[in-house]
Structure formats: structure tokens, C-alpha cells
Amino acid sequence: LVVAPRILHVGVKEVIGIQFEWGSSPPAGNIKVDLSLRNQLSMTDCSEKKSLFLNKENDYMILTDLKLSPQQVMTCDLKKEKDRYVQLVVKSDVFGSKPKVVSIPVAYQRGYLFIQTDKSIYTPKEAVNIRVFTLDHMMRPTDELVTFSIFNAQGLQVRKTERLFRNSIIAEKLQIPDISTPGVWKISAYCTNAPESNFTAEFEVRKYVLPNFEVKIIPEVPYFLMSEKSFSFKVEARFVYGEHVTGVAYVRVGVTAQDGNRYMLRGLESQTELQNGEANLNIRKDDIQNKIAQDGENLLGSSLYIAASVIEKASGVLEEKELTSVKFVSSPYKLDSSEKECDITVKANSDTGSETEKIILHPYTSTAGNYLYMDIPNQVLNPGETLKVSLKVITSKEQNVRNIYYILNKGALLSLGSIKRTEINDLSVSVKTSMIPPFVVAFYHLNSEIVASVWVDVADVCEGKLTLDARNQMIQPGESFTLNIKTEGKASVSLSIIDTAVYILNSRNKLTPDKMFKAMNLYDLGCSPGGGKDFKNVLIDSGLAFVSSAGYSPLNELNCRDSQRKKRTTDSHTLAQQKALSYPTSELKRCCHDGMSLPPRPDSITTWEVQAVGMSKDKGFCIANPLKVKVYKGFHIYLRVPYSVKRFEQLELRPILYNYGGTDIKVRVYMEQTKGICSPGSGEDLPSNMIPDGDFHSSVIVTMDTPMNTINNSLGAEGVDKLIRVPYGCAEQTMISTSPGVYALRYLDHTGKWLMLPPDRKDQGLDNMRQGYLRILQFKKKDGSYGAWLHRESSTWLTAFVVKVMSLCRNYIDVDVEQIRLSVISKAVDYLRMKVDTLQHPYSLALASYALTLTSKDSVLKDKAYNKLMSLAQGNPNRKELYFGHPGSALAVETTSYALLVTLLRENIRDAEKMYTWLSEQQNYGGGFKSTQDTVMALEALSEYWIRVKLLYEVCLWKKPKAQLSGMAIVDITLLSGIEPVINDLEKLAKSSERYISHYEHHSGRLLLYFDKVPDSRERQMFACYSPGVEYGYRVMVKDIQEQDAFIAYDATVLEVLQRSSDEKIKDGDTRVFYQRMSCKMRLDKEKEYLIMGRDGLTKDKQGHIRYILEKNSWV
């Protein structure tokens, strides 16, 4: 018998069990068995081949493993998405020439991803802290490349990122736009190499104010039994710090039909005073029937709806709660008829009648008339306890054979053993933490095909325990408390503390131990609580594929039927995010190597919940039961303020004083003066409405940061730095603040000037770009167009502007291509082809020429449009400028910008320089142009000019008219430091048909140009030069790796200096630090040698050594 999991997971070591039965006379020596996986279609191997030996020493049974790696999946060509499977091939001489083969499905699901957010609900403008824990299938930390996406309430993808972190924790931050539509956002994450391993989490976005108390509706029983006369429930209201609420409860009642429609029962409303924060109520069945005017039987399957509103007397604050889960039923019990195996009649009697349900159950069938009965105690076992399994064999033949047993958990074989058969056998199994969640014990009697299995429930506890405790769980505002964290062995622990008032608004998406154990069941391959209709189905339903001398498991029977997966249910909560803290002392850091710090001192009168997640390479993953800490003061003041107010809005602030002490307290309440707020704290003689009487006015100073400061400086380091800004405002404002940053990043990448800015500036720019992309999607309409606001008319220009900028963003961040395509106007090129001849205005021609240059393959059409545009050019030849349209107008700036872009695409540098000269002189005071439209176009054109145009040397050579030239003329050019000539350009000058120069020489920073003849008039030749890409080259060994802010720092010993530049004193054996951004996927390993080449850094450390930055112009 050979058994394996009934599904094989890519990238997971799957355990295979092999067992031979020989009766009374086993063969001597070893029996060799070869195992492998193959693709049946191509007959190529999909795994390594393993050779095993069975003998008397191992009792002719053994466990081994085979791994189907992602690389092997590609090698053996398993490309078919549906019905993907491999074959387990077992070869041995005892089988003869024909191997034993069984087909097993393949799944890409691998490991677990737990997604967390620091809260379950956010207001617009808040930041969402996201963390993803990456675990393998045994709940151990693993380094996986993870792809995760974020979708807004409209279902639009606003971010997609691939991340890899070595500590198995991926952290991200998302800024919610202030104009976000209320609704539920979703986070989706999967292992990049295993897209089927998809995990999701959700969070809600809406404007809210944290409540001060919570209302609960607690039913006496969770159902409305139609045989009863009434339904009893309790309304409870308590403050977030635990004290009861004094107030009034208003209760409304309704019925939710099976189609989802809700009908309120008018006249059944009630009003009740709360006593000690509680009110007991009853709803009579007759009252409900009178209101619906139908027989009570029609209510079966519907739900009772109860809504309770509680108003606190002191503050007048109202909080509400709904109860929708109470069903109208005829019986509190439901018979599960999904497992159908002998005829049985179930009869349930009651005082009002009886009900009968007939179920057909089929008996276990055995062709040989052999049966095995297994019995276990009906209990939930704890790790450390012993399970006693009783066996009884019923067989038609007396055989001196043994019973083979397997123990399975999460689809993996844990152990394989045997016991000698007697009439009644007992097997003791020691329960371990590795058997959580429930495990299966399967018995197999080979000769007679006796098979049975049983499902064993184990208490849900972590393999590596994590507990939280505090000496004092009730503190006063501003006080600290000591948090004790206990782990088993070395573990990293992530902490968070959250106000439980948040869960009153939204209690979903909270990370709990139940969620963890629910996820662990994903790898449980069992289909039923035990048993099966025959020996094959017993093995398959226990989660095994098999091949034996008696048969094999058919591929089409290896998937569970939906009705079978009825083992148990666990409350499912989606995950919530916690914020990690760090231990303050070296002793605690040794306990938890990620470190933690003590929680902050909470000031709010409330109850805080401390949550912890632990990760250990030895003990795995654990979510602790949360610890609640009450922040309380017997006398305190409560002030409820609205979510937001508008300028000049009247606002009533009602301070509420609470005294839970045993004696009266005399107090004075006053409001301190606050600048900008007209209130009693501002003076003595205020009118009652706190708004000044008579005529008054207010001056508002409006400042604006233009997209370009001064054009002369905008493409310098300081100017570009200011272009990288956080998006804001309406759709047009969002684009005017986003697009300059996109152009700036493109310019800096092409020119390599990042080193002139702070090292984290690109990360900030990318983050702002993501925020701009996320924000602009909030303005997208269903047809793909954009307007200034959703309720405003769509703008063709704005839509095209968004498409263009988002297309550029694709080079930096993940942008949903389908969202761009939806916004693109089709058939544009054909339209322009027909209109070119009729276009007369420079603006139209500039747009048409630009569009055709980018998209059309018709060179004649492109030349026609461009030549027609250039024929309309204006400018002063003495000032070497060109422009299009009425000078001084916004249209002229925008038209010239498009013309410059076209000219650059056509590599007409001379005319491009003239357009650049004119554009750079058109800015207003402060650096902007005339409008949004022309400003962004000018910025794009100017940045593109600096990207494309190389540094040029002008060589002017002439002689006086009567001067005689006796030989060849030589021009000796001393190049600036770091500048090298482009040899290809020099070759063209020397070897082209015009032969501008006869020869050139270049060495040691000097360039010599040789001319056969010299003209009488001044002529200019331009030679393009560039800065070298490599200034240093070292062979190094990495000695230490540290994380510093947004960088990874590699301390390396220089083994050999191959080339040096500014670091003149560097020599073999010196130590230097190389910095790399965390966003870069590359990682260097400790104690490994590398050849590193690149440009010198611009900063030095305390010892005066250059700091080297590893980025796109570096080679490793």
C-alpha cells in the first residue's frame, strides 16, 4: 500500500507512506522501491527520484517525502489551469516491469497569509497601517515574495505591490483620500509564485465619532420557537469603561422575510427605563400574528428584527443596535441529513404534536465480508493527553495478520505503525500540539481490505503558546502599566493597542485565535468525520490518495463532495491589523528578537484591548487571547464633539460630569480661551448665540504653491525636489499636484541627479504618486471619463490628461491598465489622418502632430503634419527662439510645449533648443504659467528636453579672410572633470560624407580635433558628451547587515581595489558601507563576496569615508 495526500501542493514537501505485507514468510534482504512524480501527458519527471529500502528492521513500512517545486512544475510543463494533476509512480522488482501508478491533483495553494490593519474602520484622510504575515503550510515563518492589492469601495484597484521581507512580516501604509466614498475597502494578498493562495481582509471607510457607550440586545434563546407564547430578550447599555448607562430604551420590532424584505410591525414599539443599565422585554407571538394577519406557520424561515435605541439622560447621546439573527422555527433542533449511509426513522414528539423525518443510510460494503470497528471517547482532547482507540475486527477468515495505522493532520502523514491483530485491540496515541487542528486515525488491514477511520477533535491551542498579562488591569488616565508577555522559546511578537469603542462601530475584521484555527483547516484534506461506503472511500474521505495490490483511488473521486465537509464550524472573523511595538531592554530583546516597547499612556476614559501576534521558527505562529485594560477615574468629564464643523457654524458643546464616588463634589466648569474660536472663553460680553451682531467681514489669505517655482531652478535639485508633493483637492487639482512629481521622477531617473536630493526622496515621490493614483480614481465615472467632481460634467481634456499621466505612472507603480483603456478615445489616428489637411491653427496642428508622432507608422503623414506646424512658427532670430500662437497667452505656452515634445521626438535638437529658450522665459512671478493646462504641459516639455538633450560643446573655428593656412588645423579641448566624449558622434564627424573633421584623438581629459581646412566665416560644430557610469570598482565581502530607516546598510571589507575615484585613500582591507533602498528587491548575503561598481557617493560618514549608494547606475 502506498498512500499520499489527496492533493499535492506546489512548493511543499508532501509525505508519502509505503507499506508491504508478506504474511508469515517475508523475503530476506532489502526491497528497493523507487518513487517519483511525472506528467502523464509528456511522461516527463516533475520531481526528484527517491530510492527507499524496506526490510525487517523498518517492519516493511516507511515514510518519505517528495516535493513538487515551482521550477519543476515549469520543467515538466504542467500548464493546464483546470484539472491539473501529476502521477505518483512506484517502481519495484516485486511489481515486475509494470510500476504502480496513481493520479493526484495539484494545487498552487501554499502556506498562509494573515493580513492585518490597525483598525477595522477609518475616516477619510486617515492612514491605514497594513501588515502581512507570511507562513508556510506548517505555520512557520517563511520568506515569500507576496503580491498584494488594495481595492476601494467602488472595487477599483488603487494599489498593487510585490514585496519580500526576510522577517516574514510585510508592512505597508495607505493614505485614504479625503474625498473617498463611504464603503468597504478590500486587501487581497497571495504568494507571487502561488496565486491560488489568495487571502483577503476588509476595512470600512466612513466619517464617524467614537461612541461613549455600547448597546446590546441579548436574547434568552437564539431562536423564536413557534410553540412558545412569547420571545424574551434583554437590552443592555454600558459605557466603554464598564459602568452602566442611565437612560431610556426605545425598541422597534419587525419581520425579515425569506426574500430579504423587511416589514416593520407598527404598534409594537415600546419605551422602557433602564435599571442598572438593563431592560427586560417580551414579544408575544399573538401580537406578531395579529400584525401580519397571517397564520403563524407562514413565519417559518423568516427572521425576527429588533432595533433598540438608547438615549442617555445626562448627555442626550443616542446609540443604537440591531438584532437580525433570530429565526422563526418549529423546533430548536435540526437533523443533519447530509451523511446518507441504513434506513432509519427519527420521530420527535412535543406537547403540540410530532414531526417525522426519514433518512436513508447505506451500510459499509465489503466484498470479502470483513469489517473493522473503531471506538474512541466522545471528547475534545488537549495536547499531552492520551487517546485510547478500541478496535474490533470481524472477518470470515482467521488470519494471523497485523493492523496498519496512519495518523494524519492538515493533509500530512504524521506517523505510520502497526499492531498485531487480536479479536479486540487497544491503541494509545499521545496527543501533541502538531496534531492541532483535529487529526485522523486510519486503520488498514491489507489482506482482507479492512479499513476504518475516525476523526479526533483536539482543543485549539497554539503550538508555541503566547500569553499577555498585566499586574494592574485598571489604571487612571496618564498612568503607565506593565505588560507581561510570555512565549515558549525565542519568538518575535507584534503588539497593538486599540480603543474597544472602535469595535462598537465595526467589530468585523478583527484578528482572533478562531480566525487562525479556521485558516489552519485549509490544509485539512479529510472529507468526512470518518468511515465511508467501502475501503476506497474510507481512505479517500480521510484525505488520502492510494495505490495498492487491491486497487487505487480514481482521480475523479479525490475531490470532496460539498455535503461531506461537515466536520465542524468555527466563528469566522476577517483579520484586523495591529501596530508593532518594541521591548525596551536587552533582556527582553533576547526573548523576542524583534523587540517591543511598553504601551503608551492612554488618556481616554475607556477600555483598551492589547493584542499580540507571535512568530517563531521553532513553534510557529500564534495569536494570543487579547488583554483588556480599563482606563478609569471615578470623577471625570465627557465632551462629545462632532466629526467636523464649518467656518461660522454654531456649535453646542455640552460637558457632562460623571461622579461614581460615594460623596458629592463641588466643581467649577469653564472653557479656556482658544484662538480662532468665538466662545465663552473669549470674554465676558458675548451675545447668547456666540456670533457677532451687525455687519462684519473676514479676510482670507490664499497662498498657492505653483507646479514650478522658477523655470531656471525648477529642473535643478531644489526645484525638482519641490515638485514631489502630496496630491489634494478636486480632480484637476489632484492632477496638477501629481503630474509634476511624475515628470520630476522621470527627469531624475534619466539624468541620474537623485544623489543631489535626500536619499529617501524617491520613496516619498513614489508614495505621493500612489496617493495621486488612488485619489484620482475617486473621480472616475462609470464610462471611464473624469470631471472636476463626480457630479460635474466630464472633461475631454482632463480625461486625456489623466490617461497620459497614468500611462507614465505605469513605469513606477502598478496601474490597472483596464482603467486606462476604458478612458481612451478610440479611432483617433484615423480621424487625424482625415483632418490634417484642413487644420490651420497652430494649437490643433501641434496636438495632431504630437499624437501622430507617437502612434502613427505613416512617416509621410507625420512629416506633413510637422512641416505644416513648423511653417507657422514665430520668433526673433537674434534671440534664437521659436514659439507658436499669440505671445503671452496660455494657448501659446501649451502649443509651444506640444511642438517642443514633437521636435524632441524627431531629434531636431536645434529647433528644440529655440523652443526651450522661449518657454523658459514665459513663467509668471513665482514660477507658474497661465493655467493648469499650459503649466503641466510646459513642465513636461521642459523636463523632456533636459532628459533627451545631451551636454554639448560648441566648437567655433575660423580664420581671417587673408590668412594663409600652412597645414592641418588642430583644436585642443580640455574637458571638464568627469566628462567623456561620445565616440560614436566623433566617428560620424570623421567618417561621414561631409567629413567635418579629418581625425580626432582623446586621452587624459583632452580632446584633439584635426581639420584639413578652416572656413573664413564662423561655423559651429556640436559634440555630445556624457558622464561616465562607473567611477569605482571593488571586490568586497559583506560582514554585517543592518536596517537604517528606509535603507539596508551593508558593512563590507574591501578585498581588492580595482578602480578608485574620489575615495583616493581606499586600500585593500578597508571597510566601507554600501546603502540600498528597502524598496529594491535585491539583497546581499552575509559572508559572501561581491564585485561592486558604480558612482561615488556625495556624503561621508563620521570617519570621512564615502557612503556608497547601490541603485540603478550600480553593478553588483
Q: Transcribe 209-233 into DSSP letters.
A: ---SEEEEEEESSSEEETTSSEEEE
Question: What is the average pLDDT across 999-1014?
Answer: 79
Residue 345 confidence (pLDDT)? 53
264 and 124 together in one domain:
no
Domain of 424, CATH number, reads 2.60.40.1930
Which is it for strands 223-225 and 318-329: parallel, antiparallel or unpaired? parallel
Establish if 348 belongs to a structural domain.
Answer: no
Does residue 827 surpass a pLDDT of 80?
Answer: no
116 and 198 together in one domain:
yes
Helix, strand, coil percentages, rounded to 5, for the chain: 20, 35, 45
Does residue 245 surpass a pLDDT of 90?
Answer: yes
Does residue 907 surpass a pLDDT of 70?
Answer: yes
Question: Residue 1092 is placed in which grid cell?
Answer: 561592486
Angle CA(236)–CA(238)–CA(239) in degrees, nearest 5? 160
Q: What is the DSSP letter of 469?
A: E
Q: 576 falls in which pLDDT band (50, 70, 90)? A: very low
Residue 397 in contact with residue 448, Cβ under 8 Å?
yes
Q: 988 falls in which pLDDT band (50, 70, 90)? A: confident
Question: What is the average pLDDT across 389-403?
Answer: 72
Which is it for strands 386-394 and 424-430: parallel, antiparallel or unpaired? antiparallel
- Positive or negative, the CA dihedral 524, 525, 529, 530 is negative
857 and 811 together in one domain:
no
Q: Cα–Cα distances in Å, from 317 out to 311, 314, 503, 642?
A: 6, 8, 18, 12
pLDDT-above-70 percentage for the chain: 81
488 and 551 together in one domain:
no
Q: What is the DSSP letter of 523?
A: G
Does residue 929 surpass a pLDDT of 80?
Answer: no
| CB-based burial, 276-314: b 16+ in 10 Å, e otherwise | ebbbebebebeebeebeeeeeeebeebbbbbbbbbbbee
Establish if 186 belongs to a structural domain.
Answer: yes
857 and 932 together in one domain:
yes
**H or E element in which residue 439 lies:** strand 439-445
Does residue 571 surpass a pLDDT of 70?
Answer: no
Q: How far apart are CA 46 and CA 37, in angstroms?
A: 5
Q: 557 falls in which pLDDT band (50, 70, 90)? A: confident
| CB-based burial, 570-598: b 16+ in 10 Å, e otherwise | beebbbbbbbbbebeeeebeebbebbbee
Who contacts 966 (Cβ-Cβ below 8 Å, separation ≥6)?
Answer: none
Domain of 979, CATH number, reads 2.60.40.690
Q: What are phi and psi of 98, to 5 degrees?
A: -100, 120
1015 and 959 together in one domain:
yes
Q: 450 falls in which pLDDT band (50, 70, 90)? A: low
Least confident residue range of 520-524, 782-786, 929-933: 929-933
Helix (H, G, I), strand (E, B) or coil at 907: coil
pLDDT tens-place string over residues 606-641: 999 999 999 999 889 999 999 999 999 998 888 878
Q: What is the DSSP letter of 1093?
A: E
Q: How far apart are CA 42 and CA 37, in angstroms?
A: 12
Phi-psi region of 855 (alpha: psi -120 to 50; beta: other; left: phi over 0): alpha
Who contacts 198 (Cβ-Cβ below 8 Å, separation ≥6)?
Answer: 188, 189, 190
Does residue 214 surpass a pLDDT of 50?
Answer: yes
415 and 530 together in one domain:
yes
Q: How far apart are CA 668 and CA 670, in angstroms?
A: 7
Of the candidates 101, 104, 39, the one whose C-alpha atom is nearest the C-alpha of residue 547 is 101
Q: 828 falls in which pLDDT band (50, 70, 90)? A: low
Q: Give the HSE-up count for residue 542: Cα atoms under 13 Å, Cβ half-sphere.
A: 35
Q: What is the DSSP letter of 800?
A: H
Residue 692 confidence (pLDDT)? 36
Question: Residue 586 is placed in which grid cell?
Answer: 536587552
Q: What is the DSSP letter of 296?
A: G
Residue 979 confidence (pLDDT)? 62
Boundary-marking domain end, from 631, 648, 669: 631
Residue 680 confidence (pLDDT)? 61
Question: Residue 28 is placed in which grid cell?
Answer: 530476506
Residue type, 547: V
Residue 393 confidence (pLDDT)? 78
Does residue 753 surpass a pLDDT of 80?
Answer: no
Beta-bridge partner residues of 1053: 1037, 1071
Angle CA(158)–CA(161)–CA(165) in degrees, nearest 5? 145
Give CA 1029 to chain center in angstroms: 36
- Positive or negative, the CA dihedral 633, 636, 642, 647 is negative
Establish if 617 belongs to a structural domain.
Answer: yes
Tally of CB atoms within 10 A around 850: 21
968 and 940 together in one domain:
no
Establish if 394 belongs to a structural domain.
Answer: yes
pLDDT-above-90 percentage for the chain: 28
Give CA 385 to chain center in angstroms: 40
Question: What is the average pLDDT across 35-48?
Answer: 89
Domain of 765, CATH number, reads 1.50.10.20
493 and 506 together in one domain:
yes
Does residue 807 surpass a pLDDT of 70?
Answer: yes
Which pTM value belongs to this model?
Answer: 0.66
Establish if 1041 belongs to a structural domain.
Answer: yes
Q: What are phi and psi of 1013, to 5 degrees?
A: -140, 155
Beta-bridge partner residues of 1073: 1051
530 and 513 together in one domain:
no
pLDDT tens-place string over residues 457-468: 888 888 888 999
Residue 56 vs residue 587, higher pLDDT: 56
Q: Transcribe 782-828 into DSSP letters.
A: TTS-BBSSTTSPB-HHHHHHHHHHHHHHTTTS---HHHHHHHPPSSH
Boundary-marking domain end, from 311, 329, 347: 329
861 and 912 together in one domain:
yes
* Domain extent for 879: 828-951
Q: 561 falls in which pLDDT band (50, 70, 90)? A: low
Does residue 236 surpass a pLDDT of 50?
Answer: yes
Least confident residue range of 143-152, 353-362, 892-901, 1046-1055: 353-362
Residue 21 in contact with residue 11, Cβ under 8 Å?
no
pLDDT tens-place string over residues 644-698: 777 667 777 778 889 998 898 888 877 776 666 666 654 444 333 333 333 333 2
Establish if 706 belongs to a structural domain.
Answer: no
pLDDT tens-place string over residues 1057-1108: 888 888 888 999 999 999 888 767 788 999 999 999 888 777 777 788 888 8
Residue 474 confidence (pLDDT)? 92
Question: Residue 1069 is placed in which grid cell?
Answer: 582591507
Of the candidates 203, 186, 79, 192, the one whose C-alpha atom is nearest the C-alpha of residue 145 is 192
Q: What are phi and psi of 447, to 5 degrees?
A: -60, -40
Establish if 352 belongs to a structural domain.
Answer: no
197 and 221 together in one domain:
no
pLDDT tens-place string over residues 962-978: 777 666 778 878 765 44
Computed over every residue of the chain, the mean pLDDT equals 80
Establish if 309 belongs to a structural domain.
Answer: yes
Tally of CB atoms within 10 A around 858: 13
Instruction: Count how many domains the chain has.
Output: 8
Which is it for strands 1071-1077 and 1108-1110: parallel, antiparallel or unpaired? parallel
Q: How far apart are CA 188 and CA 198, in angstroms?
A: 7
Residue 7 in contact with residue 558, Cβ under 8 Å?
yes
Boundary-marking domain end, from 769, 795, 823: 823
Q: How far apart are CA 1076 and CA 759, in angstroms?
A: 10
Of the candidates 148, 240, 269, 158, the one whose C-alpha atom is nearest the C-alpha of residue 199 is 148
Residue 343 confidence (pLDDT)? 47
Of the candidates 1096, 1100, 1101, the one whose C-alpha atom is nearest the C-alpha of residue 1109 is 1096
Burial of 947 (0-12, 13-18, 19+ CB in 10 A): middle
Rg of the chain on CA atoms, in Å: 39
pLDDT tens-place string over residues 276-330: 999 999 999 999 988 888 777 888 889 999 999 999 988 888 899 999 999 999 8
